[in-house]
Amino acid sequence: MAEIRIRNTNERISGEENVKAFLDKQEVLYEHWNADKLPAELKDKFTLSDEDKATILSTFDPEIKDLASRRGYLTWDIIALSDATPNLDELLKKFEQVHTHTEDEVRAITAGKGIFIIKGTDDVGYFDVELEAGDVISVPEHKPHFFTLMDNRQIVAVRLFIETEGWIAHPFADPTFQNA
Ligand SMILES: [Fe+2]
């Protein structure tokens, strides 16, 4: 289940209801899928064949279609990152810059872990959302954020898009960014 860490105060928020209430206030969508639906051999696999990806998408097809119909997403795919990903460190360096998009950024984690770092309201500042399998998040359009891996450095997620164009990252230079 997702956990929040507020960077200014190091306060942690856990428990689905608390996390959801906090993220609601920050206009970040948070939902949960049953990650146990995934076949056992895919729960800990981070180098995926096209067939594996198709299996993940079909396993969560009802959840994907439900989310897409409520929120207008038209396309989706699977992203997998791990130490087996070529140039992972370079990729992460690129990811770890505060940026915005013109559409929301949706990720449903199906294996592994990851963190979104998001700029909250002025009273909160930057906060981390630590995500694990089953967690679904949507960072609203124009909200400064970035994504990175956690210590285990492996994740599989479904990405949903309104149009793939919207996912271009626009750098957001922010002197108030708390890099810790
Ligand atoms: Fe992003």
Per the document, the length of the chain is 180
Is 32 annotated among the ligand-binding residues? no
Give Cβ neighbours of residue 176 (< 8 Å, ≥ 6 apart): 125
For the stretch 129-173, pLDDT in tens is 999 999 999 999 999 999 999 999 999 999 999 987 777 889 999
- How deeply is 117 buried, as exposed, middle or buried, from its count of CB atoms within 10 A (0-12, 13-18, 19+)? buried
Whether residue 159 contacts residue 78, with contact meaning beta carbons closer than 8 Å, is answered with yes
pTM above 0.75, yes or no: yes
Res 143: pLDDT: 97
What percent of the chain shows pLDDT beyond 90?
91
143 C-alpha to center of ligand 1: Å?
9
95 C-alpha to center of ligand 1: Å?
8
105 C-alpha to center of ligand 1: Å?
6
For the stretch 21-35, pLDDT in tens is 999 999 999 999 999
Instruction: Kindly list the domain boundaries of the chain, sorted by start residue.
Output: 3-171
Res 164: pLDDT: 75
101 C-alpha to center of ligand 1: Å?
6
**3-171: CATH number:** 2.60.120.10
144 C-alpha to center of ligand 1: Å?
8
Is 105 annotated among the ligand-binding residues? yes
